[in-house]
Structure 1
């Protein structure tokens, strides 16, 4: 009998798994039944269930997700969302936007998606949510997006955190709304906020928005592009990676994650060019030993206002051939040094 892993691999290959699913459906039904009697989405536990990737072809898995929303506490809904989209992306290659649309039909709201995105940026875990997903939710429920900008609704959406910790979440949303989504109304940023921390952060964002890269469309494109596929699935050594990144002054995709680093970015803010080497999670501190992780690949992007993320959204990804030649060659040298390939 085929197991869940084999079925997921077959789905990735585009094979028909109808017969295989029918054989394991009784097992999936028992699995989902047990799942209903325990707490399935413990915060901070980033274990994924391959079974979740079978939502569209297993009646038992579909029934579980179609009915679980009302049984979950607020924070558990965010954890469940992260598990679902990451499981489907990892095991069958499903786009996150597609998985979010499924969850919306199961009861999750646009506000849940925005809150889950903020949660993913500040939690100490490795599960990522694409900025594209959060942008789509913000545009759908713009009222809630603006409430979060103003620092409102955090006690409702994050009741499990002390009020003093909510400002970090507000900072994340301010940065996202202005620097990724491109919100242009600066009224909020220019207010005389009572909070000195908020006032200082808003001034930092204003300064960031004032420094727009020169729009250069007639740059020299690369004619003989280096082979960036060498960085896919290559094994990266933690100590060498961290030391090299520090020496090159590369930027982490998410400084708020206090445990893990999952990407390093080479950035040219004058031209608005970025390139990220993304990889599986590594501890930020090498004190626990020299661990290793597989690289996912190198992703290029352009930006008007820099917004760093461990998940380079598909809407912003570009081919190396569409970037300035000098920047592409710099990126190849930089990431070669990170990976210990010379360069």
Structure 2
């Protein structure tokens, strides 16, 4: 059980939840008010939904041996476009107008994801460089759309995406779980998952086997951009505003950490959507813990870094061997061949 890739992320998440319970016995309390569920656990799920979406897209990209540093900027652009379009509506509560604004924002997110995929898959630019370009320029584009201001809207249908409830549960987590189930079924119940792992694990062998690696890589960046755009809509709807400078800032780092904690290697190859989900919830629980314990803002990032490093070290078999004093088992020695002497009578 300890050797399973999901053991240490799950154990770390449970330990973090237990620590919160010890510090605050009411941490696990959930109450029903006006037909909606409220509590710390519900807040973790609702606030963690955007990170889950971005981390799922990041998992696909990392599985092919790539990386996407622009997801935070794409989320900011998507939020800026949607809020700008809604602010121009005569009736901001118009559902058709809201859906139109969301459609434009998600379409632009697809275009940005396709652009990243084009640079990486077609032009052969290193993923960290290709996506760093959009990470920097995209943040400027988001501020250009908002004209350096915070766009505030008053749209109840749009606010429901990030702060609404359906059947007593937050709509945001229902959307994130729906995407999780759909992408898991599509990837794992078809040959797509195997092809992604082959491209990330051994690109040359997959090319010789006839795998269309360029199309697959382009598709992963496309989906990553779409998920980042949807996360941007959630983040902006939760506060009914879009800030091109702050929305989604450094979220790409949390997404990468969630993927790595979930057991997916940055070198590509085997990946786990379930591990990514646990990793995203761990990061969000850690953020909630920081706020609840009243840790000073200047030490928040350091505290998160220490916890994440501890989790990664616990996952490392080499580190556990050195700490516990265990040595790598030696391969069994090959049996020596016995020579049979044949006596020839004189």
Same fold (TM over 0.5): no
Higher strand share: 1
TM-score normalized by the length of structure 1: 0.22
Higher helix share: 2
Which one has more relative contact order, counting CA pairs under 8 Å at least 6 apart? 2
